[in-house]
Chains A and B, each alone.
Chain A
Amino acid sequence: MSLSTADVEKVARLARLAMNDQELQAAQAQLNNIFGLIAEMQAVDTKGVEPMSHSQDLAQRLREDRVTEPNQREAFQAVAPQVEQGLYLVPQVIE
């Protein structure tokens, strides 16, 4: 399997990445290299092997349902580009 330029453009759009032609071509080549690697792995016989969802053979540690985080709004908002009435301001989004 290999990616067309159109595929790369679509992925870039979904990831909100603006890419010029040169970058698109570079990304296409890099991604196709990765697909080459995946193709090699696909060739391995994994019959009877349970798919793994994490590289470490561990289970999720759970947290007790207790409030531990104090209000740090002031500290967080000190580094935000724009805030007003406690809200983070962003360019307008219209559905």
Chain B
Amino acid sequence: MQWEIVIGLEVHTQLSTNTKIFSGASTAFGAEPNTQADAVSIALPGVLPVLNKGAVERAIRFGLATGAHIANRSVFARKNYFYPDLPKGYQISQFDLPVVGQGALTIQVEPLSGNAKPYEKTVRITRAHLEEDAGKSLHGDFHGMTGIDLNRAGTPLLEIVSEPDMCSAAEAVAYAKALHTLVRWIGICDGNMQEGSFRCDVNVSVRKPGQPLGTRREIKNLNSFKFMQQAIDYEVQWQIDTIENGGKVQQATVLFNPDTGETRAMRSKEDAHDYRYFPDPDLLPLEISNDWIEQVRGTLPELPQAKQARYVNDLGLSTYDASVLTSSREMADFFEAALGDASEQAKICANWIIGEVSAQLNRDGLDMTQCPITAQQLGGMLTRIADGTISNSGAKEVFRTMWAEGGSADAIIEAKGLKQVSDSGAIEALVDEIISANAEKVAEYRSGKDKLFGFFVGLAMKASKGKANPAQLNDILKKKLEG
């Protein structure tokens, strides 16, 4: 009998504020240890938290982007536990009154194996709440001591909790990727996974169809999509094997080891982490007016999903092209700037960006923001393809030159003499010459050897030094050969 997989995600996104959630210390990454740990970050007695408006605004942006209810009144709570990188002895978080209520995110799932087709799915988001990050413990060579760096302590996080709506590693990865795209798209998180700006905890359980939910294990702190997929695959198999061998899954927190590809239980929930949440008396309730919500709504860009639909419906692009072009805001902006008003060229513009531009970026190890050619340069070249000035092979040359040396399409076409011959008189003259010089082959063609057509095209292209307009050449050649 088949097993059903049930997956829910908790994603910690580091908000891209300049300062910490409860103090004016910088959040810049990579500073010397503890140089950004102010009195609040290190929890000196007597200090008081003051909430950062920028963090709240980013939470509102996220809520609006996922169609969620924004709470007009939400409350900060203390989550109590002991760990040296949490010097207060509690984390300020939100518990029963989070700032963002239930929302949803629609994702495109690419099945990982077989010939299954991509499909769309909507994942419900339970809630998203504001909280502070902890510091870092360094278990280096400190004479048996642990070193504590509190620079990260107090960095604002938005913890985004999904419903257990995903039923495969592919769906979990698609959801995480869509979320990753969205938070960067709306400018609330830089999405840098190496620096820990986007960390995923994955809750996994298995059950037989129709049965109640199985016991879940939580895979902590995944910071790459590849690891997420490997960790889920391993964990699912482990749980199925455990149950099929007569064992029982115990609720646990596990860590994924990328070197072995295995998950391993971290600590038992014996102490059941009794966090003893209670409202933080140092912080008053957070009130968000409808005016503020509407003001933030006014600054939201067109969202990836809406853009994707518009590309398909108004520009006639395939779902695949539309989803690639909306995989980041930089990519979509580049596409729209290159296209300009020439919406009839959407398909060819998409092809160039998804094809040549992406391939070249890949080869050079660059991302879209580092692209050496501007959207305007590419747009200029597309215009010259559309108006017949250059052929596709000419365009490739223009593109290569533009990439390596810069310059506008027009200047490159001029300098390299890439303008194709669209003067029918000139092409006819050239074709006439070829026909009279190859009487024997012409006779063969006329007696039914159609395949020779390519031979004549080759000759004519060579004679024109590759500049003849191919469509025009084909027409004229066909007409003349038929006599």
Using a CB–CB distance below 8 Å, which chain A residues touch chain B?
10, 14, 16, 53-56, 58-69, 71-73, 76-77, 82, 84-93, 95
Contacts and interface: CB of A to CB of B under 8 A. Distances in A.
Contacts of A58: 284
Contacts of B287: 59-60
Given A14-B276, A73-B37, A84-B147, A65 B53 contact: yes
A65 B281 CA distance: 23
Nearest to B139: A92
Nearest to A63: B50
A68 B139 CA distance: 31
Contacts of B39: 69, 72, 76
Nearest to A65: B54
Contacts of A93: 83-84, 137, 146
B279 interface: yes
Interface of B: 17-19, 23-26, 32-39, 42, 44, 50-56, 75, 80, 82-84, 97, 137-139, 142, 144-150, 266-267, 271, 274, 276, 279, 281, 283-287
B284 A69 contact: no
A54 B281 contact: yes
A65 B17 contact: yes
Contacts of A63: 24, 50-53
Contacts of A86: 32-35, 149
Contacts of B34: 73, 76-77, 86-88
Complex A-B, nearest 8 residue pairs according to Cβ-Cβ distance, in ascending order:
A65-B54, A68-B24, A87-B147, A86-B33, A59-B287, A69-B38, A62-B53, A53-B279
A62 B288 CA distance: 11
B147 A85 contact: yes
Given A62-B52, A65-B55, A84-B147, 20 more contacts: A54-B279, A54-B281, A56-B284, A59-B284, A61-B50, A62-B51, A63-B52, A65-B19, A66-B18, A68-B19, A71-B36, A73-B34, A73-B35, A76-B34, A76-B37, A86-B35, A87-B142, A88-B148, A89-B145, A89-B148
A16 B75 CA distance: 27
B148 A53 contact: no
A64 to B, nearest CB: 6
B221 to A, nearest CB: 12
B147 A89 contact: yes
A82 to B, nearest CB: 7
Contact of A64 (B37, B53, B75, B147): B53
A89 to B, nearest CB: 4
A59 B283 CA distance: 9
B53 A16 contact: no
A63 B286 CA distance: 12
A42 B23 CA distance: 37
Contacts of A54: 279, 281, 283-285
A15 to B, nearest CB: 8
